[in-house]
Amino acid sequence: MTILKRITHWIGVGGVLFALLLQATPAAATWPGIEIALWDPHFAKHDRKDPQYLKVLELAQNGQFTEAMQWVDRLHEERPSKGTPVILKALLLYELGQYRDAHQTLLHGRNIQPRHPAIHYANCEIYRKLGVVDLSKRSCEIAINQHQHAQVPEAHYEYALTLAANGEMSKANRALQEAAAQDATDPVYLYEQGMNSFYLNDLHAAEQAFLKALERDPQHIDSLYQLGYLHAVQNHLEKAQSFLEQLYGMRTSHPKVDSARQLIEMIKKGRVDELPKRVIPQEYHLSRSRSLYQAGEYGLALFEIQTAARLNPKDKPTQEILVGLASLLLRLDLTESAIETLLANIDNDPILRAKSYQELGDLNALRGNMKEARTFYQKSMELGDPDNLAKTSLSELPPNQHDIPGALHPDELFFQPAEALNRRGELFSHYGMHKRALAVYSMVLRMDPNHLMAKLNTAATHYNTGEYGRSISILEKISMRHPNHPYILSHHVLLAKCYAQKGDEPQMVRNLLYVKENKPEILVTLKLDPAFKNYRHLELFR
């Protein structure tokens, strides 16, 4: 299967009954308190007394993230050399769901103040969201050790979420117990303990945790639902209905309300024996991964599928999904590791082996390791080369046997498949593999027909292959729909080059006049471009 076919097949496989046990909504982020968000007086004497910083924390703790962002932006303008405004901005961007910007902003803040107390806490959250298991765990541990003498329940909670996604439920519960001890009001810590105990098939411990959560909040929806489910699978039907009807009577828009309705119907129809009674860890993480992918939480889905694959490394379908999702998000090292595990467990499946070699060829090509790429593409050819991918790649691979410096920076991590695939296309194009690039951009546009960069990259690739008419057609359509997009200057430059190659001087001049009006200094450089060699005498270039 191709990457998209493999993933599409996977998300189409699901179990309604298992979904009643497991609804994989990502846990909400926790805004850090002052112990984490701001320097202590030993390092920055006035930060925790600064009224502007305190105002940002107050707004954020009340969920007013947009307003807090306005304050942070002003602070950054006033204090450009300070890391705290930048790091607070990264935390706010994370809360607003702008994860890629949060990651980039945090990297900038880390460059200014690498020892800021919020750095590792933010990394714990962001790397978990990205599905980077080791970095999330390490950051969580450092954040807790960094604040070991302070009350930081949120740090223990974030660590517990990372551990739970990694299948380390007993250890996660110890972190949650610490969080619950430090904060005696939040029911979430106890609810998560109950879910982890459910995972461990310790129903008594799960029930006790959910009941303690209800002591903190008698209307805690998630705990009510899980108590209903827990009693249903133990055939304590009256108790189950009591909790479920209490929840259903709330009539809120929470998804657990509809699940409660379904469970009540199953109880009334005598169908509770159909409900899953035990958690099988590998299946649990596989199902969570699928649900998170469907919810658009691709990094978290990647995290969970890594756990499922680790728990059952010989399960070929799970390893295939891991390869597909890791490749889709352009995680080259993880993809390579997953393929190696897959190959070690393939018996007589030459097609899957050939596809694995194709993927290894791509990984090495994307890194600039052309000699290794050629070897793997040739291995795929020997096994039949499904979809002629290796043949196409070999026809475009740079002819020399020397490696080319890699163009993918280690800090380039993607949250969205379309963005990762677009970057994959750019890398193929960078190495002169234009057919492969065009195929990838086509995948991006099937995912998101309005993806501007994929359209512009498609036009640029057609120009590089001498298909000037096709490039012009794409660019003119974009001009009509997006006349002021952020890359419009480069857009007009490329159009001018296309028209120059076609010999259409009036249209070339029209686009160069736009360039002259907006950034005339680059005409000096453009005059030297081979595309304009027949037009250097024009007044425009003088």
pLDDT digits (tens, 9 = 90+) for 80-138: 999 999 999 999 999 999 999 999 999 999 999 999 999 999 999 999 999 999 999 99
Could you tell me which residues come within 8 angstroms of residue 391 by beta carbon, excluding any fewer than 6 positions away? 381, 385
Provide the residue type at 310 as one letter: R
408: nearest Cα among 464, 368, 375, 359: 368
Rg, Å, the chain Cα set: 27
What phi and psi values does residue 28 have, to the nearest 5 degrees? Answer: -70, 150
Q: Which residues of 259-270 are buried (b: 16+ CB within 10 A; e: fewer)?
A: bbeebbebbeee
* Per-residue pLDDT reduced to its tens digit, 448-507: 999 999 999 999 999 999 999 999 999 999 999 999 999 999 999 999 999 999 999 999
| pLDDT over 60 at 9, yes or no | no
71: nearest Cα among 44, 41, 46, 91: 91
Could you tell me which residues come within 8 angstroms of residue 8 by beta carbon, excluding any fewer than 6 positions away? none
* Per-residue pLDDT reduced to its tens digit, 510-542: 999 999 999 999 999 999 999 999 999 999 988
Task: List the end-to-end C-alpha distance of the chain, in Å, as a whole number.
Answer: 55
In the DSSP assignment, the letter for residue 276 is -
279: nearest Cα among 188, 203, 227, 192: 203
H runs (alpha helix) in 383-487: 389-396, 417-430, 434-447, 452-464, 468-481
| pLDDT over 90 at 45, yes or no | no
d(CA 143, CA 115): 11
d(CA 437, CA 428): 5
Mean pLDDT of 184-193: 96
Number of H helices, E strands in the chain: 30, 0
d(CA 397, CA 373): 9
Q: Output the pLDDT for position 305.
A: 97
| pLDDT over 90 at 26, yes or no | no
Per-residue pLDDT band for 24 (boundaries 50, 70, 90) equals very low
d(CA 229, CA 81): 54
| pLDDT over 60 at 29, yes or no | no
Mean pLDDT of 220-225: 96
Q: Output the pLDDT for position 13.
A: 43
In the numeric block, which tokens belong to residue 491? 């857009």
**H/E run at residue 500:** helix 488-502
In the numeric block, which tokens belong to residue 61? 């703790």
Could you tell me which residues come within 8 angstroms of residue 506 by beta carbon, excluding any fewer than 6 positions away? none
Q: Look-up: residue for tokens 């160069």? A: 512
* Per-residue pLDDT reduced to its tens digit, 376-412: 999 999 999 999 999 999 999 987 666 677 788 888 8
Q: Which residues of 128-144 are buried (b: 16+ CB within 10 A; e: fewer)?
A: bbbbbbebbbbbbebbb
Inter-CA distances, 123 with 117, 221, 437, Å: 11, 30, 32
Per-residue pLDDT band for 14 (boundaries 50, 70, 90) equals very low
d(CA 461, CA 437): 8
| Angle at 421 (CA atoms; ends 417, 426), nearest 5 degrees | 150
d(CA 502, CA 411): 40
Q: Output the pLDDT for position 28.
A: 56
Q: How many residues in total does the chain contain?
A: 542
The pTM of the full predicted model, rounded to 2 decimals, is: 0.91
Inter-CA distances, 413 with 140, 231, 457, Å: 19, 43, 20
Q: What percent of the chain has pLDDT over 90?
A: 85
Output the average pLDDT for the chain: 92
Mean pLDDT of 331-347: 93
What DSSP assignment string belongs to 172-230?
HHHHHHHHHHH-SS-SHHHHHHHHHHHHTT-HHHHHHHHHHHHHH-TT-HHHHHHHHHH
For residues 198 and 225, is the Cβ–Cβ distance under 8 A? no
Neighbours of 58 (CB within 10 A): 14
Mean pLDDT of 350-376: 95
In the numeric block, which tokens belong to residue 287? 């199902």
Give rounded-to-5 percent helix, strand, coil for the chain: 70, 0, 30
* Per-residue pLDDT reduced to its tens digit, 411-443: 889 999 999 999 999 999 999 999 999 999 999
Mean pLDDT of 184-197: 96
In the DSSP assignment, the letter for residue 40 is -
d(CA 285, CA 169): 12
Mean pLDDT of 258-268: 93
Mean pLDDT of 355-382: 95
Q: Output the pLDDT for position 16.
A: 45
For residues 243 and 257, is the Cβ–Cβ distance under 8 A? no
**Within 13 A of 5's CA, how many CA atoms are on the CB side?**
4
* Axis crossing angle, helix 119-130 with helix 84-95, rounded to the nearest 10: 30
